[in-house]
């Protein structure tokens, strides 16, 4: 199950980081777990977002904090050692 970037984007924007969106993110993670699914958050751009999402149990992250978008060729080169 994927957590939309619209929820992730607001992490750290409030006076208490993660306060408003944490209940929604927690609910999405709980729902995924009840269905036996893993959880990926998209649009992760800050360390605060990464920390909160991992602390809440997110299985995977996508976003500029980890890697900028790349071509198929670039992705293939990145993954080549893991495939061999």
Q: What is the pLDDT of residues 42-64, one digit of tens each?
A: 999 999 999 999 999 999 999 99
**Cα–Cα distance for residue pair 8/57, rounded to 1 Å:** 14
User: What ranges do the domains of the chain cover?
Assistant: 2-83
Q: How many CA atoms lie within 13 A of 49 on its CB side?
A: 24
Render pLDDT for 13-45 as a digit per residue (tens, 0 to 9).
665 555 555 788 999 999 999 999 999 999 999
Q: Which of 20, 42, 45, 47 is catalytic?
A: 42
Query: What's this model's pTM, rounded to 2 decimal places?
Result: 0.77
Note if 42 is an active site residue.
Answer: yes
Phi (first) and psi of residue 20, to 5 degrees = -75, -40
Measured distance CA(75)–CA(30) in Å, rounded: 31
Tokens at 45, concatenated: 């751009």
């Amino acid at each position: 199950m994927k957590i939309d970037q619209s929820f992730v984007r607001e992490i750290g924007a409030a006076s208490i980081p993660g306060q408003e969106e944490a209940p929604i993110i927690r609910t999405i993670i709980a729902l995924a777990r009840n269905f036996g699914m893993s959880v990926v958050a998209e649009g992760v751009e800050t360390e605060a977002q990464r920390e909160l999402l991992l602390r809440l149990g997110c299985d995977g992250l996508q976003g500029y904090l980890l890697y900028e978008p790349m071509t198929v060729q670039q992705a293939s080169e990145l993954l080549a050692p893991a495939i061999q």
